[in-house]
Amino acid sequence: MNTRQRAARWATLALAAAVCAGTAGAECLSDEQVGALDRAIQARTPAPAPTGLSAADGACSRARLNALMARRYGPVAGYKAGLTNPAVQKRFNTDQPVWGVLYEDMLLGTGSVLNTGFGARPLYEADMLVRVRSADINSAKTPEEVLAAIDQIIPFIELPDLAVDKPAALDGAGLTAINVGARFGVAGVPLPVPQSELSRAMLSDALRDMEVVTTDGMGKELARGKGSDILGHPLNAVVWLAQALAKDGLALQPGQLISLGSFTALTPPADGLTVLATYHGLPGAQPVVVSFHKPDRLTGCAIGPQTEEARQVACYRPFIR
């Protein structure tokens, strides 16, 4: 473990202690339960679904799980806002977003190929990342203020893993406890945010009005959504996330990435499927692509992981930002 990873781990442990200390009497998942959950995630086998948790229980459990995940996935890369789409909220019987932590080794580059069974309950969805430029983002109240505090918009297909035996039993707190299913994601070519206020205003309108469409390798449409499907404007997810992190004594930092949420439905991958996400109406945005195959199709990687265990999950291209 290098110095950066060690610092990230201790920061996560300190947060876990603070969160759990602040929820005395809450039914936070025990260290044993969280350890079993983490081992199941590593083994890509379903774990028992955490149920009956309060929001505080879910937050405490997430912090304990993050302390273990930091050892495996490296430094914190940023955060993901989940359940920012009302249609997805209904699936999890809640009306509030949730958040989880993204780690460096979760982020892959466009064109990556993953094992169809990259998780116990693998899924894909069209998403988007933004990169923090300024700490002013923590006080942003509007999409325009968010745009002034970021420097990149990045097409993104998130690859979450719901990880449990009964996904239908998960609610917002249960989803929080499993770190909102963060597992992998494929990032495309970053789109720079313009400096002029007028250009940013035009970009803000484009983000709200864009059509996000996923297609397969033959061009057949798989799903579509609008920018406004995420809290009325996708950058409202950043406003919500900054406020939610502040309640836990956290703040977004320059260079961190933020996943905004689902533009399209969570969908399980199929063997041999290629998914292309295109952002119609967003000038300059290039499509992002991911493919899924059985493990025996991942053994000829020219790039990507070198160990056989890693090859069982992904033959990836690096994400360069």
- Structural domains in the chain, CATH included, are 76-317 (3.90.850.10)
First-to-final CA distance of the chain:
23
The β-bridge partners of 109 are 187, 317
CB 50 within 8 A of CB 34: no
Checking if the pLDDT of 300 tops 50, the result is: yes
Report pLDDT for 312. 65
DSSP state for residue 210 in the 8-state scheme: -
Q: Which two tokens stand for residue 57?
A: 């229980």
Report pLDDT for 313. 78
- What is the phi/psi pair of residue 252, to 5°? -70, 140
Report pLDDT for 321. 73
Q: Which two tokens stand for residue 70?
A: 């930091």
Structure confidence at residue 22 as a pLDDT band (50, 70, 90): very low
The per-residue pLDDT for range 180-239, each reduced to its tens digit, is 999 999 999 999 999 999 999 999 999 999 999 999 999 999 999 999 999 999 999 999
CB 148 within 8 A of CB 203: no
Percent of the chain clearing pLDDT 90 (strictly above): 79
The per-residue pLDDT for range 114-137, each reduced to its tens digit, is 999 999 999 999 999 999 999 999
Give the three-state DSSP class for 34.
helix
The span from the CA of 176 to the CA of 37, in Å, is 13
**Residues for the chain: how many in total?**
321
Q: Which amino acid, residue 63?
A: A
Q: Which residues of 88-124 are buried (b: 16+ CB within 10 A; e: fewer)?
A: bbebbebeebbbbbbbbbbbbbbbbbbbbbbbbbbbb
Give the mean pLDDT of 252-270.
97
Percent of the chain clearing pLDDT 70 (strictly above): 87
Checking if the pLDDT of 9 tops 90, the result is: no
CB 127 within 8 A of CB 261: yes
Give the mean pLDDT of 155-179.
97
- What is the phi/psi pair of residue 208, to 5°? -70, -40
Report pLDDT for 4. 47
- What is the phi/psi pair of residue 124, to 5°? -135, 155
Checking if the pLDDT of 305 tops 80, the result is: no
Report pLDDT for 202. 98
Phi-psi region of 90 (alpha: psi -120 to 50; beta: other; left: phi over 0): alpha
C-alpha distances in Å from residue 33, one per residue of 27, 228, 237, 268: 12, 38, 31, 26
Checking if the pLDDT of 19 tops 70, the result is: no
Give the three-state DSSP class for 285.
coil
Q: Which of 2-11, 245-254, 288-297 has the lowest mean pLDDT?
A: 2-11
Report pLDDT for 26. 53
Give the mean pLDDT of 4-8.
51
